[in-house]
Amino acid sequence: MRRLKICCDASCVAAFYDRTRNNNGVWHSTRSCGNPPMRAAIHEVAAAHSV
């Protein structure tokens, strides 16, 4: 199930669909927004960029 969220980066606040396994994503891109220890989700980030 996809959830539309707002990026938690105050300088970004882009809308995005949370594609993380646990629906705990808070940035629309873990590469450009924030810098969480979520290396395991890199492939999901790549998927988001392909949209």
Which residue ranges make up the site for Zn ion (CB under 5 A)? 7, 9, 12, 14, 28, 33
Q: Give 45's DSSP letter.
A: H
- Cβ proximity to Zn ion: between 25 and 28 the closer is 28
Shortest spacing between CB 47 and Zn ion, in angstroms: 16
Shortest spacing between CB 13 and Zn ion, in angstroms: 7
Q: Report d(CA 43, CA 9) in Å as an integer.
A: 21
Do the Cβ atoms of 9 and 35 come closer than 8 Å?
no
Q: Which amino acid is at 47?
A: A
Shortest spacing between CB 39 and Zn ion, in angstroms: 18
